[in-house]
C-alpha cells in the first residue's frame, strides 16, 4: 500500500513548486521598480490612482512598487475608417465612407488620460467617431447631391477642417482626411448617369457641328480658289496667245510628220479631167 502513496506525494510536490513559481513571478512583477517606455509611446505615472502632471518620454523610468503604476499611451500615427448616412441639401440620402490618419498629441497625453481614457484607442473611439459623424452630416447638408460629386475636393476640405477642430479640443491631431466614397440611392444614381450621358451626347453633337462647319468652310475656300484661278486664266488668254498656241501646235505636227501621205483604201479612184492641150 505504501508503494501507491509515493507517486501521489511526488506529484503534489511538483504542483506546489509550480504554484510557488507563478506566485514568485507575480510578486516580482508587482515589486519591479523599473518601467521601460518604447519609442512612439508616452508614459503616465499614477500614484494610488492619481495621475502625475509629467509626461514620461521613451526610456527607463523608476516607480514605487505597489504604490505607483506606469500607463503607456501610443502617440504614433494611427489609421481609422468609418461610414455613415447623411442627407444632402436637396434631401437626397447619402452614404459616406471616410478614412483618416491621426495621432495623440504627446503634450496632452495626461489630459487625455484623465478626461477621456487610459489608451489612445479608447480616446479615439470616444472622440473621433462621434465627431466625424457630426462633421460629415453638417457639411453634407450644405451641398446638393450633385455638388457632392462635382465639388468633392471642397467637401473633403470642409469636413476635414471641422473634424480637425473638434479633435484638437481633446488632444488628438488629424493628419490626413479622405472621402473614400459617396453612395446615393439607386434612382438618383440612374438620374445622374442619364444626365452625364445627355451631356456627352450634347458635346458630341457640338463637336460634329463644328467639324461640319470647318469642312464647309474648307469647301467654300477651295471653290473660291478654283474660281479665282479660272478667272485669272481667262484674263491671261488673248488673241495673240491663241495665235501663238496655234502656230506651236502646227510646228509640233510638222515635226512629227514622217513625209508620207495618208493612204486611202477602197472606193473608186477619182477621175481627174485634164483639159486637152491646144496645138
Within 13 A of 79's CA, how many CA atoms are on the CB side? Answer: 2
141 closest CA partner among 155, 131, 160, 128: 155
Neighbours of 109 (CB within 10 A): 25
195 closest CA partner among 253, 160, 158, 145: 145
Full-model pTM: 0.61
Which of 64-73, 152-161, 176-185, 225-234 has the weakest average pLDDT?
Answer: 225-234
Is 4 in a helix, a strand, or coil?
helix
DSSP 272: -
- Give 67-81 pLDDT, tens digit per residue: 899 999 999 999 999
Q: Where are the alpha helices (DSSP H) in 32-140?
A: 109-115, 120-140
Highest averaged pLDDT of the listed ranges 31-35, 109-113, 224-228, 261-265: 109-113
Q: What is the phi/psi pair of residue 265, to 5°? A: -110, 150
| pLDDT exceeds cutoff 80 at 233 | no
What are the DSSP E strand ranges found in 157-238? 172-184
Position 2 confidence tier, pLDDT thresholds 50, 70, 90: very low
Determine the Cα–Cα distance for residues 98 and 122; give it in Å rounded to an integer. Answer: 19
Determine the Cα–Cα distance for residues 42 and 76; give it in Å rounded to an integer. Answer: 10
157 closest CA partner among 145, 171, 139: 139
Q: Does domain 78-184 have CATH number 3.30.479.30?
A: yes
pLDDT at 159: 96
For the chain, the domains span 20-74, 78-184
Length of the chain as a residue count: 279
Instruction: Write b or e for each residue in 50-69: b if 16 or more Cβ atoms lie within 10 A of its Cβ, otherwise e.
Output: ebeeebbeeeebebeeeebb
- Grid cell 485634164 — which residue? 274
Helices (H) and strands (E) in the chain, counts: 7, 8
Amino acid at each position: 500500500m505504501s508503494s501507491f502513496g509515493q507517486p501521489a506525494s511526488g506529484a503534489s510536490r511538483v504542483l506546489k513548486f509550480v504554484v510557488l513559481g507563478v506566485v514568485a513571478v507575480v510578486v516580482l512583477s508587482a515589486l519591479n521598480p523599473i518601467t521601460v517606455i518604447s519609442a512612439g509611446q508616452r508614459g503616465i505615472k499614477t500614484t494610488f490612482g492619481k495621475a502625475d502632471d509629467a509626461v514620461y518620454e521613451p526610456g527607463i523610468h523608476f516607480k514605487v512598487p505597489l504604490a505607483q503604476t506606469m500607463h503607456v499611451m501610443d502617440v504614433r500615427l494611427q489609421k481609422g475608417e468609418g461610414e455613415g448616412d447623411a442627407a444632402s441639401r436637396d434631401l437626397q440620402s447619402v452614404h459616406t465612407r471616410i478614412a483618416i490618419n491621426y495621432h495623440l498629441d504627446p503634450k496632452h497625453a495626461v489630459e487625455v488620460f484623465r478626461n477621456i481614457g487610459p489608451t489612445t484607442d479608447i480616446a479615439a473611439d470616444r472622440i473621433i467617431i462621434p465627431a466625424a459623424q457630426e462633421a460629415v452630416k453638417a457639411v453634407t447638408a450644405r451641398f446638393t447631391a450633385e455638388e457632392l460629386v462635382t465639388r468633392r475636393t471642397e467637401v473633403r476640405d470642409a469636413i476635414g477642417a471641422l473634424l480637425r477642430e473638434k479633435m484638437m479640443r481633446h488632444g488628438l491631431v488629424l493628419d490626413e482626411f479622405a472621402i473614400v466614397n459617396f453612395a446615393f440611392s439607386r434612382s438618383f444614381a440612374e438620374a445622374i448617369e442619364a444626365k452625364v450621358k445627355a451631356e456627352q451626347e450634347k458635346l458630341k453633337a457640338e463637336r460634329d457641328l463644328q467639324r461640319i462647319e470647318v469642312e464647309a468652310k474648307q469647301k467654300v475656300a477651295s471653290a473660291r480658289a478654283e474660281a479665282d484661278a479660272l478667272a485669272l486664266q481667262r484674263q491671261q488668254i488673248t488673241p495673240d496667245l491663241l495665235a501663238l498656241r496655234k502656230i506651236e501646235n502646227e510646228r509640233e505636227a510638222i515635226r512629227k510628220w514622217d513625209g508620207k501621205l495618208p493612204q486611202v483604201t477602197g472606193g473608186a479612184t477619182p477621175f481627174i479631167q485634164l483639159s486637152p492641150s491646144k496645138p
